[in-house]
Amino acid sequence: MRKLICAFFIMGLGGASLAADAEEGGEIYRENCATCHGLDLDGKGPMAGVMVIKPADLTTLSARNDGKFPLVRVIKRIDGRDPLVSHGSPMPVYGDFFEGRDVAMKTDAGQPIMTSKPVAALVAYIESVQK
């Protein structure tokens, strides 16, 4: 219960640190995601050519979702709750690397979804680059 209360407190403070989260998320993205999704998040990373399922253009997630950023789907895809099979195996899930202090992110419906701080930062970065 204490962890949940702390998470809601952190969620309430989230607006003040969105820019910092996106900056941290950009670093995490470049280190872990750009090889497949590309530096421009366009799905054209150096490994894209050898993949059976091509990486998504991450800059158009909102556009392909009626103008709303699919927060829950993105979180679950990154943390492995919604695995994606690509090139014969699931999209890399960085499990241990992305573990950390849990935070809550607020969905469009106002419900919190729990994830780790690194995943929250990565999601903030991806959301910040939507076209």
Handedness of CA 125, 83, 44, 63 (dihedral sign): negative
Distance CA 90, CA 108 (A): 27
Confidence at residue 99, expressed as pLDDT on a 0 to 100 scale: 72
State yes or no: pLDDT of 13 exceeds 80: no
Of 24-33, 37-46, 100-109, the poorest mean pLDDT is in 100-109
Give 4's Cβ-side CA count (13 Å radius): 4
pTM over cut 0.95: no
Confidence at residue 51, expressed as pLDDT on a 0 to 100 scale: 86
The structural domains of the chain, ordered by start, are 2-128 (1.10.760)
**Chain mean pLDDT for the chain:** 82
Q: Give ∠ CA 64-56-88 in degrees, rounded to 5.
A: 135
Q: Each residue of 78-97: pLDDT tens digit?
A: 887 887 766 455 666 555 56
